[in-house]
Amino acid sequence: MFDKIIRENQFKTKCVIVIYLLIFVLIGLLVDIVRINAQSLSGGFYSLLTLQQFPLVTLLMLGIAGAVVLFTISRFKQILLSGSEYKEILKGKESNAQEREMSRILDELVGVANLSFRPKLFLMEAPFMNAFASGWSADNSLIAVTTTLVRNLTREELKAVMAHELSHIRHGDIRLTLMVGVLSNIMLLVVNYAVYLFLGNSRERGANLARTILLVLQFVLPLLTLVLQMFLSRSREYMADSGAAYLMGDSEPMIRALQKISGNYAQSDFSQSDTNPTRSALYIFSASELFSTHPSIENRIQALLRQ
């Protein structure tokens, strides 16, 4: 049952990535059609795709995206943990009983999952209950949990949360989320500026049509990007919840943990407490209701109860 859910959600996330890449290349080609002042839209696409005309902007966009991804990969830990006091819990160098217990829990989960790697473990000082996972590969992955989460959950509930985050790493969706975030920002930036490029009245019909499409995308793409991000993030949360229940052999600890975390945010949204927006989509729980990247707690619990 769990393996089937994981396979289905992995397929969905791959579909989203393909859609992003297709949109990404389409925008680059449209800008290139304006740049070469193509007589027709179809003719412009043909000449660019067959390399009769060099797709300069398209390749530049791909190059910039690659450079930004590489920068994010090399600096993701500093980017995501900035704005908070945090401590890495090193195995064998724990300073107190709480840290030793967290380290043991992670070792247990790594053993149950039969993994060949052990993510880095961080304890982050924060007044709210939350956790996230990140990394580009198993070798540089990390799990971060807040001090308030550790203080307010039982051992089994904390283990379920850490199993949820470990599942994100096992499923590879943290890499997908990082890639989508980079592509989204570059796409929106290019579309916003592309319609103002190559201004003039002597444009051919194909170039003018390409510019019109870019103008429409300027308004449509932000909404489409939001919908795709919501679909991807909600899918990955259901998948990680299922993965946590699978590793625990029981869905009840995950359900209780979600209830306690949502109850914590019911007292305050903590919007002023967390000064780092880059990790909001990675958290196990999102306080925002409108256009939230996370499914509701009620739906997540219902999904766990059905498994």
pLDDT tens, residue by residue, 270-290: 766 777 777 777 889 877 654
Global pTM reads 0.78
Catalytic residue at 94? no
Quote the mean pLDDT of the chain.
84
Residue 264 pLDDT grade (very low, low, confident, very high; cuts 50, 70, 90):
very high
Name 54's Cβ contacts closer than 8 Å, sequence gap at least 6: none
Mean pLDDT calculated for residue range 10-28:
79
Q: Which entry of 165, 204, 289, 298 is annotated as an active-site residue?
A: 165
Share of the chain above pLDDT 90, in %: 41
Select the highest-mean-pLDDT range: 8-17, 65-74, 198-207, 259-268: 259-268
| 3-class secondary structure per residue, 18-75 | HHHHHHHHHHHHHHHHHHHCCCCHHHHHHHHHCCCCCCHHHHHHHHHHHHHHHHHHHH
Name 120's Cβ contacts closer than 8 Å, sequence gap at least 6: 88, 140, 141, 142, 143
- At residue 88, the pLDDT reads 94
Are 272 and 128 in contact, with CB atoms under 8 Å apart?
no
Q: What is the pLDDT of residues 117-174, one digit of tens each?
A: 999 999 999 999 999 998 877 788 999 999 999 999 999 999 999 999 999 988 877 7
